[in-house]
Structure 1
Amino acid sequence: MPLDANIYTEITSLDAALDTLFKTLDAARESSGQDRLPQAMTRPTAQAEGSVLCAPVVAALPFPPFALAAASGYALKAADTYAATGEAPATLQQGKTCFAISSGDALPPSCDAIALSAHAAVDGKDGVSITAPMLPWLHVRRIGSDIAAGEALFCRNHILRPSDIGALLAAGVDEVQVWDRLEVFLATVGGNFRPAAGAADGAAPATGAAAGPATGTGTDAADGTPGAASGTASAPTPGTASSTATDAAGSATDTRLVDGITPSLVARIQALDCRARLAARLAAPLAAMAEALRDFFQKSLAAGGHALLLCVADEAALAVVRTFLEADGQIVSPNVGLLPGAPAMTAVYEGRPVFCLPSSPAGSLSAFSALVSPTLLLMSRRPAGHCPGTLSGGMTETGGLMAELASSLPAYPGLDVFSPLALARVGEKTVALPLRLGEGYKTTVRTQGFAHITANGKGAPLGSSIRAHPLRPVETLYSTLFCAGGSDLILDLMADALLRQPHPVHMISVGADAADALEALKNNHCHAAVLHMADDDKGEFNFGFVQRHWPQGKVIFVNLAIRQVGLVVPAGNPRGLKSIADIRDKKLRCVNRLAGSSTRLQFDALLRHAGLTPQDVSGYETEVESQLAVAAAVLTGKADCGPGVAAAANAVGLDFVPLGGERWDLVIPRAFLDDPRVISVQTLLQQAAFKKRIAALGGYETTLTGQKLELGVRLGA
């Protein structure tokens, strides 16, 4: 049969070929009214690794489901130890008022704290002396501290990873709604091939969960139907060399080429979590090949195929394929210009995409990566970055992602460390934020990659470049938002709400002091910083701090909320404290926060406004490290009051006297205002429903929430 003289000569660019193919598929779907994409199905969570969610998932149960010991020691009731000191320890009875417990054990019902062995002495007669006061829930993992019931875990079209499976099961999600896997039917057309060792001609190896039930099965005849097996050599196609030859001794030798291309394509299909269905080689005489193609296509579609892939061996076979598709299908791009390899072809048959790839090893694989992979990912509802690719200026030749560290990464001599990383695209660079080692399920969910530091390796300092190994599609770099500074329930609410948006944003908030948060902004290591720094005695916040430490910074200020600050006092406020002047007038003993903390700055400002000096406050010089430490000092009677917040007072059953507020603002570089992630945050802060969630926490005001602030805007103004 002579070659068709009407040879296609026009070359189509890759972008144009993909765009035209997608539009043609959309038009075919609209005209037929049929959705030929995989449909939703229910799958057991334990078997859903690699699946794509077709609906958002929220936690059904809290984790942990009951209080657990976070350290080994003695479980006890915190109230029994409030007066304990080294000189006058609290004596408890083992098995009655305190219990030996190991990390991870369930907390006895009567207990609410763990005393470490360093704070306990055993007398050998079941008596245990506790030498320091214990706060409620000290060294205890409370119910839902890792995952809260109703918390949004994953959004629609999220690809489930092994760590996600564990988190879902722990949260009581036993079944998930996912998209079924894509069926791809593959055949080699023409050529002089024999199957590779270990792979039967016409049968795909059944490897991995992605292999469908028909993969590796066959029918009776090698007739080009899906799953057909062939154990005999096919007659040589006209125009090709004979499949046998005679050596010098007169013995017949097999001169067919080993087919290493088809198994490679099958593996590529399975790597995209699609089912690969392999048919026998279509090696009929050219005159009968069109009928073999028609039979293959019809049986593939009848079996539920979503896409068809042809590896065409030679120009003679390609001419037959073109003629067949011109008559029975629609050729979309006859020559897609790709190197290496001969041009590839795309077509549509009965609403399904058809790809004709060259049979050279390099050409077939490069054409698969360029043409087939993006199409299958789109049809599978997976992001394009799911397939290993290149992020401009980012990916290394070994597949690692070069990223700049937002904080230092220590080494542990003698240990190989796989440090979990959160990864985000900030401005023009990829930023890696090391996550804490040893946290619960939430760390595994947040982990987007890891950095490997070998046992004899060195750590990496802040700002250095490291090779990160991504565990998520590169595309997720553009949906992750880094926020530096502050640690508060408002930020937890924001993270949860942003995950529930139509276009989910994964916000990772890292607590840091104001100086470190501002430094992260200056280094382009975050998209926003949270500040709540009092600037002067007139009630101004944050502007002066930024202007002093980054005068050239071009930023805007958007309010999160106003958090009430005041004095933590005993339950019932027995001394009747109403103002900060009462500390002096009623001769109260006070405890203070560390110098430089925002609460300390607020307390100092309140003293100045009331005309008081540090000398007027008994105990002003007694400093503690946290809000809960202030509450503990008041609870145990070591102080009559102390500067703090309502949340700390409520945690231990104390009262709170509000005296003012501190403005929590987001500081955002103007360069990021058009970033979709930042826009999502600003939109969320303006929603009335979200403001109600903040107000429901108690101790917060939302009069300014979501507003862009200018110098001179004060609390509630």
Structure 2
Amino acid sequence: MERKVYIKNTPLEQALELFLKELEDNAYFSLEKERIEVLSSLGRILASPAYARRSSPHYPASAMDGIAVWAADTYGASEINPVRLDKDKYMEVDTGDYVPQAYDAVIMIEDVNFEQGQAVIIKPAVPWQHIRSVGEDLVAMDMIAPSLTTIGPYELASFVTAAINELEVVKKPLVAIIPTGTELLDRGSDDMNPGEIVESNSKMLMALCEQWGAKAFRHEIVVDDQELLRQAVQRVKDQADMIVICSGSSAGREDYTSAVIEEAGKLLIHGIATRPGKPAILGLIDGKPVIGVPGYPISAQLVFQLFARPVLYKKQGRQIPADTMIDCRVARKIASSMGVDEFVYVNVARIKEDYLAYPLNRGAGITTSLVKADGVLHIERGQEGLEAGSRCRIVLNKPQEILDRTLVCIGSHDLSIDFLADLLQSQHKIRLVSANAGSMGGIFSLMRSECHLAGVHLLDEENGDYNITYLKKYLPDRPWILINLLHREQGLIVKKGNPFSINGIKDLSDNRIRYLNRQPGAGTRVLFDYLLRQHGISPDCINGYHREEYTHLAVAAAVKNDTADCALGVYASARALDLDFIPIVEERYDLCILPDLIKPQYLESLKQVIRSQEFRQRVSEFGGYSLVNSGDTIHSSYL
């Protein structure tokens, strides 16, 4: 069979509507039931009403600790004229005890005195005082919960009380997940070959199934072979309620998913107008849903969320929980194609009285965007994107109180920012979110009130000082303070053994050396340009001057993986990846803070962490840092 390589662009709402209708036409959503023990029912969904098998209480029960009496025997009791009951006229009871028919009231133990074997009563009882009647809580054959109730702790306790031992519940849908790809490995290792990829999408999708009330199992990895994929589908199709095929949904040379679905069942759609997730496949085999998800993690997650989630919820007779949404201002311009529904993962933080949304890396293969995201911005088809400052609605996936306790640091990258984030979270319950935009990017974000603090290390070539000149220039009318975080060694990061025998900046003019630069506006880029001028070297003489990365670890990783020979960066990055380092200069790395944007208690917590022994110890262990001025206020524009 000739493979189809053309992918359509079906609108999202049309694709979902068609998918659900085809499943309804095949009676897919009829509830499947099973009986389980009540003690195993937490979180399950009732398939039929739960009726009490016995009353609760099923006998007259004392509601208090005290004595059971015949109420008429206590009439006339008062403090002046107490009634004395002999032992045969009362019975001591505890809460929950059976009250025999000879008694019709209970007097609290606090209202009884005992003298010479008699109970002394100073207040008369009334019939059925402090006695729980039969069925006060439940009467046998009362309906405790109707069909499609999700069983929680209170329902579970009521079922046990009502002598229900088994329940009829909705059977959990079973999802078969088939990862495909010759390049995939079950586990990673330090000596993986180029092109080998650790298969993690199936684990993510299995966890999502569990969150949505379904069960899932993973087929072993299937190499890129159409017949082997066909056999895998045949093996799982009878036992599974849904089949998910990971990867193999694009128009690549070895993507066979659509052909296998078309051969075994009905191919509905190949290609959906979403970004990410365009190569998604929807089909049916034996009336059951089959979803082909792209190989990139964000694409796989989004397609699964958009199509598997509504199907699995409906299969269980459940409503999808309502989204928690928040109104935000977009911190940066977001471009989008008019022909697709675009989903942008964002961080969200509160700055003063407004919430800002910060788009995360939009690459479909960036798994960490899923980890970091606070929510998702849906740009509907027909929109051309959003301008910076535009209002938008974000679907949150984290509690709003976390957003309210978030500090945003935009600017230059340093590994110590991660230490700050961890200690702020563990010691003060404050979340620190950082974005690597370079020192100038951080200053511009402060100007626009888009962050609480910025990491900066901008050299003033005139006086050799750092940062102050730039802050006075760009923040002339804003109150700001500059706190030193650390001093750090900047130098050339090279491969182990320094194969090009690089000794300094002057050696980089050798065209054989592939240099990797930092982005414009980064303090390291400013420093590199300054060093080139000092040595009389034109940027055009540097092989790779216009090739850029955004962090010290990123340039070090490029050197480590032989996509670059040299980069300017901090010693800590070289050490982290076991690379050689040629020191060039020690620089001051500061945090610039605008007090009108940060709560005073958060600023104090930040200072405490910077000055803490834990922070100093972690930074010192990395090497290449000096903490002699750490935590000191270097300059303030308003004091």
Question: What TM-score comes out, normalization by structure 2 length?
Answer: 0.47
Question: What TM-score comes out, normalization by structure 1 length?
Answer: 0.43
